[in-house]
Amino acid sequence: MKRMEFQNRLSRFTITMLFTCACTAFAQSTITVSADQPGKPVAKTMWGIFFEDINFGADGGLYAELVKNRSFEFDEPMMGWSPILSADSDGKTDIVVKQPFNENNPHCLRMSASRGQPFGIENEGFRGMGIRQGQSYWFSVYARHIGPGAMSLKTKVVGAGAQSIMEGTIENISGDWKNYTCKMEANATDAKCKLNVFLGSFGSVDLDMVSLFPAETAQMKDRPIPGLRSDLVTILADLKPGFLRFPGGCIVEGMTLSNRYEWKNTIGDINERKTIINRWNKEFRHRLTPDYFQSYGLGFYEYFLLCEQIGAEPMPIINCGMACQFNTGQTVAVDKLAPFVQDTLDLIEFANGSADSQWGGVRARMGHPEPFNMKMLGVGNEQWGPQYVERYKVFAKALKEKYPQIQLIAATGSDPAIFPNGPNEVEYLWGEWRKLDPDIVDEHFYRPADWFFKNSARYDSYDRKGPKLFVGEYAAISGSVGSPQNKNNLGCALAEAAFMIGLERNADIVSMSSYAPLFAHVDAWQWTPDLIWFDNLNVFGTPNYYVQKLFSTNRGDSVLPTSILDQDKTLYASAVRAGKQIILKVVNASAEDVTTDIDLKGIQAVNYAGGLVLSGSPRDENSLTEPTKVVPVKAEPYNVAGPKFTYLFKPYSMTVLQLEVE
């Protein structure tokens, strides 16, 4: 059955319905923290990020390439390109497959003209190209001249009004495939630029891998990440994420097995990485995106580098021989799984093997002789049913035999509210996982905000002896799953915060969690809500992003038992110890100030070290025009006299209090 049909079944909730409790003005509550207890450890991986190439997350987003369909390998090879033809020109373009550039990249573009004004082609970029004044850009192309002598090319980036923003020239193009580059500096800033490439004279030339890149892409520590958009890497790094899950999501599974994610196709020379359709291209009728493909410029090597740069544990998810069960649900016969299993064993060697192993050697030749030290791996994305369990068993046996130290993550399907027979399926899968004992079990929730409030205590009753939990995808929705109505507003963010307080309080069994999806391009999204939004030049975090950040940058080492006396049940609280500090996180979901007595039991002296508050109206959102409407601000400096003090929590707020204790 199709995902859309599930979506339609879901009820719609509005934010106003979330905060239905009858609240007393200036309600009085008590929070007690057993600060003298050792506390349960909070895993370093507790707050992580989930990356998927959905909503132009990779191509058109994190991957800084500005040219769409640079290799002419989209299903319609001219998609994104158009000829620039003057009246007297006989210029034409042909897609040529003879003498291909390479086998994985068989199509190239032939431009020919014999009379008239210079003939050219234009690339529209990913809903335009974002260019910044004063910054340099590399134009790069593989080209060969057809015919005697040499050819030249003129390249120009034009703004939304067709004005020239930067220009360059490529000279002496000979008859063999060669790479030619030129550097240009922009004289203006424009988010909707286009790239023009003109023949320098009459004749024919073949082009492939036509590329335009900012000269400066993300560079942190001592190693540049090849070609990632700096502002998007920075906003991720600011989260100090415990792990990075990649490459998804349903993209791992593919609509059919033929367009599943195969990591080996995403490494090595970018010219030889085979472009394939992005499964989100036509998933949603409400947001068809026919120009969405995967160039794999951002591939597994880059994902591992990104993890290293932002200090996140890598968490690859592999296809376990099943296509997306919301689509075709194709499966590979259990006795034919060997190549899939081998690919996974090879992935572990690629990540962790020595430079003289086969796949470790590939990594070393790409520039990273040291292993990436990968510790965990997901077998399948949102798989369900007995067919998943039988495939999981095959993978687990082979992987654990060779790499017992690699932690395996098993799924419990999609959100139980949206996949066939969800709750029963989840129960069935949990039954199997209790027998098979994977290291970690992954649960997903895309639910209305009130579900998140109500489920803050969800994990209190989970079996402490079973596998650890990974809440691998969740987001509070204000419409139906993935629908355009969903808003990334403060109301939803606070609901997630209340749920995360529950995750933190259960840190002894919940070892990882991540909001999903991560990124969305304002002009090219398919799914809402999303944690971070961007256009071709700007990026902003949603209130949900700031909730994630308040947790991840105040993680602490151990979680302290905390109890609440709150007549109106609108307060949610947890406390962690972080070195000499106790960090208290409190969500006030009511429309009123809540004056609260706080008691840090077992502590003598306490000093206020700082605090942050995220608050506003539940409907408040950030946007490109108001990117910081809802952001944490410093709490008023507060005179904490001792282990017992009174604090006023603002309406609709999340507060983090950092308390220095002895």
> Under the rule (CB under 6 A), what is the footprint of ligand AHR?
52, 54, 248-250, 381-382, 414, 473, 516-517, 527
CB within 8 A of 263, min separation 6: which ones? 299, 300, 316, 318, 343, 347, 350
- Name the minimum Å distance from CB 320 to ligand AHR: 14
Q: Which is nearer to ligand AHR, 19 or 525 (CB)?
A: 525
Alpha-carbon 430 to chain mean position: 27
CB-CB contact of 213 with 159 (8 Å): no
- Name the minimum Å distance from CB 317 to ligand AHR: 9
CB-CB contact of 623 with 545 (8 Å): no
Q: Which is nearer to ligand AHR, 450 or 473 (CB)?
A: 473
Q: Which is nearer to ligand AHR, 204 or 331 (CB)?
A: 331
**The residue type at 199:** L
Among all chains, which residue has been given the structure tokens 């003879």? 98
CB-CB contact of 110 with 206 (8 Å): yes
Annotation says 382 is catalytic = yes
What is the torsional sign of CA 278, 279, 280, 281?
Answer: positive
Burial status of residue 464 (CB atoms within 10 A of its CB: 0-12, 13-18, 19 or more): exposed
- Name the minimum Å distance from CB 516 to ligand AHR: 4
- Name the minimum Å distance from CB 280 to ligand AHR: 8
Tokens coding 646:
């009174």
- Name the minimum Å distance from CB 47 to ligand AHR: 17
Q: Which is nearer to ligand AHR, 71 or 381 (CB)?
A: 381
194 by DSSP, 3-state: which?
A: strand
The residue number with the shortest CB distance to ligand AHR is 249
- Name the minimum Å distance from CB 395 to ligand AHR: 18
Q: Which is nearer to ligand AHR, 6 or 119 (CB)?
A: 6
CB-CB contact of 547 with 500 (8 Å): yes
Distances (CA, A) of 226 to 186, 216, 230, 296, 301: 21, 10, 11, 12, 10
Phi, psi of 582 (to 5 degrees): -110, 130
DSSP 593-623: -EEEEEEEET---EEEEEEEEEES-TT-B--
The CA distance from 208 to 108, in Å, is 5
- Name the minimum Å distance from CB 286 to ligand AHR: 15
- Name the minimum Å distance from CB 132 to ligand AHR: 31
The CA distance from 232 to 63, in Å, is 9
The CA distance from 388 to 134, in Å, is 53
Q: Which is nearer to ligand AHR, 109 or 236 (CB)?
A: 236
Q: Which is nearer to ligand AHR, 52 or 124 (CB)?
A: 52
Alpha helices in 94-202 (DSSP H): none
The catalytically annotated residue of 73, 313, 382, 473 is 382
Q: Among 568, 655, 640, which residue's Cα sits nearest to residue 607?
A: 640
Q: What is the dihedral of CA 441, 446, 448, 451, to 10 degrees?
A: 0
CB within 8 A of 109, min separation 6: which ones? 72, 77, 78, 81, 93, 94, 95, 96, 121, 206, 207, 208, 210
Q: Which is nearer to ligand AHR, 387 or 607 (CB)?
A: 387
Q: Which is nearer to ligand AHR, 519 or 540 (CB)?
A: 519
- Name the minimum Å distance from CB 378 to ligand AHR: 11
Residues designated as active site: 382
